[in-house]
Structure 1
Amino acid sequence: MRSRELDPSASPLDYYGYELRRARESAGLTLAQLGAIVFCTGSLIGQIETAARVPQRDFSERLDAALGTDGLFSRLVGMVLRSQLPGWFQPVAEMEAKATYISTYQCQLVHGLLQTEGYARAVLGIEQGKRLDEMVAARLERQRVLERDQPPVLWTVLDEAVLHREVGGPDVMRVQLSYLLDLFGKPWMELQVLPFTAGQHTGLMGSFTLLRFGDHPDVYYSESYDSGHMTANPQVIKERSVGYARLQAEALSPRESAALVARVREERYGEHTGPGACAVA
């Protein structure tokens, strides 16, 4: 592959490629030799070195082990993947990663922090073609905030419609709802379902998220088709906080919510062995 000089200050992806080439050459390895060590082709290594491909996290971890780079590429890949998010959403993701308390109401889809890979791929695949793998990886990277030693408190209210909207097909939904069920009872996390029987409620205007910080004013976030709106206006925060509290009060309890998720999973997406067979959760 023809070598291309990179400006490491051009973008996180260029910086990653620059450092990869430098580390590989310092180790005295060809593209093919390094590819064999980290279980990929030399061509893929070359594409990443020239910023033509976006690296994944598991690839970066294998690089660190192969090149003895003390976690360098595992650290850089987070920055690279965040840069693949839409430009208008990147500030939101940064705030999300710093928040100590996240409260969100979702009326159409499972929140991005709680999506399985299959669900995320189905959602993003509607309009993402060539960059689908990168966008999915970036969304899953966001979820690493929940794996920290001290993760943010995450309180999610899902409209019941989210459970019934078939995203990606029955298999994808079955896995997604099973994942949600596994979240019930986890520390620092709570999930409620707002049932259809709630009727009119304060979330009818759409999904929104409230972000709270230890040393920063609270932030309200909502989004439209291809843009987001974020504000720290105290009056907006007050109104939306009260609205969210009302949603929590009108939603099913966590125990009742778990029972509803399990019932929908079984009745709509359960595996059937034949006519009249019982659904398998």
Structure 2
Amino acid sequence: MTIETVSDDASDPSASPLKHFGNEVKLERERLGLSRADLGKEAHCGYSLVAKIESGDRVPPLSFAEACDRVFPHSNGRFVRLWPLVIRYAYPPWFRPYVELEQKATLVRMFNPKLLPGIVQTRDYAEAVLRTARPTNLEDLVTARIERQRILSRDDNPARLWLVLNEAALRNPVGESQLMRAQLDHLRELAETPRHRVQIVPERKVNNLVVSPFGLLSFNEGADVVHVDGFPRGYVLAEPDDVAEAQEAYDLLVAMAAPPDETAELIQSIAKDCYS
């Protein structure tokens, strides 16, 4: 996952949306006579991050764009409007169509046998997972992954989540025990949120039905689509037969899993057994 550029000149502000965003921040900051430290204070980040965003070397979180619109007079929401284009280019080309669909979804159904999916990962868990591939732009990858989660808490029609996991995904240690406790606490909070559903397939049930992660997206208008995670890349399916097969598999996983009202207790038990 890399930030795309379309120019050989790394200093060219038109080289990419990221470069353009950073250059606009720098122009407005210098016009006001603000230091990078001053802007960082307003955006609740450090001098170094401001410098990297201005040079087009880091993807800004949405909160940074919101701070720019708050600090810079007459921006009229320009930086928040630019931000979706910037974050889009933080994803690889093959993943962008899925992210755009995910942002429009009203219901997100996911299954994962071994890991918690990105849409529910804490920052530390995401960083630990992504670090295993030894990327050169780890911070950008983490930012992009965490920003996807906004669909679950947005003010306008937040998406509902229905997550089915093998119990092995909760027992699979990613990082230190403290990291896993925080991640399971977050998962439990989602499980206890009325509009969401989290179900666990107990270890005593051998789940050979599906061995790879996949998900279904539903919308207010239009047919469902399927996303299949894989290596080296995932893919989106929209053919009715493929979607119907995925829906049937998901229904069987739901039937195999423990009821949603047992999830919080199970998460607590696993946290105590494995990560205390």
Under TM normalisation by the shorter chain, which class is it? 0.7 to 0.9
Greater shift in the superposed pair: 155-164 or 62-71? 62-71
Tell me which residue corresponds to 1:65: 70
- Please state whether the residue corresponding to 2:204 is helix, strand or coil: helix
2:265 and 2:68 mapped to 1: Cα distance? 44
Contact 2:163/2:197, CA 8 A, preserved across alignment = yes
Equivalent position to 1:77, from 68, 74, 83: 83
Shift of 1:34: 4.5
2:235 and 2:242 mapped to 1: Cα distance? 12
Structure 1 46/240 Cα, relative in aligned 2: closer, same or farther at 3 Å? closer
- Please state whether the residue corresponding to 1:51 is helix, strand or coil: coil
Equivalent position to 2:33, from 14, 18, 29: 29
Shift of 1:29: 2.2
Structure 1 4/28 Cα, relative in aligned 2: closer, same or farther at 3 Å? farther
Does 2:185 align with 1:169? no
Contact 1:102/1:209, CA 8 A, preserved across alignment = yes
Tell me which residue corresponds to 1:193: 200
Task: For 1:116-127, list aligned pairs within 5 A.
Answer: 116-127=122-133
AA aligned opposite 1:62: A
Shift of 1:220: 1.0
Structure 1 187/52 Cα, relative in aligned 2: closer, same or farther at 3 Å? same
- Please state whether the residue corresponding to 1:220 is helix, strand or coil: strand
Task: For 1:1-281, list aligned pairs within 5 A.
Answer: 4-7=11-14, 10-25=15-30, 27-29=31-33, 33-39=35-41, 40-41=46-47, 45-68=50-73, 69-149=75-155, 150-204=157-211, 206-270=212-276
Tell me which residue corresponds to 2:5: none
- The number of equivalent residue pairs is 261
Q: Tell me how large the CA RMSD over aligned residues is.
A: 2.1
Shift of 1:44: 5.3
2:220 and 2:243 mapped to 1: Cα distance? 16
1:44 and 1:251 mapped to 2: Cα distance? 43
1:45 and 1:181 mapped to 2: Cα distance? 34
TM-score of the two chains, using structure 2 as the length reference:
0.86
The structure number with the bigger radius of gyration is 1
Contact 2:160/2:196, CA 8 A, preserved across alignment = yes
Shift of 1:37: 4.0
Shift of 1:162: 0.3
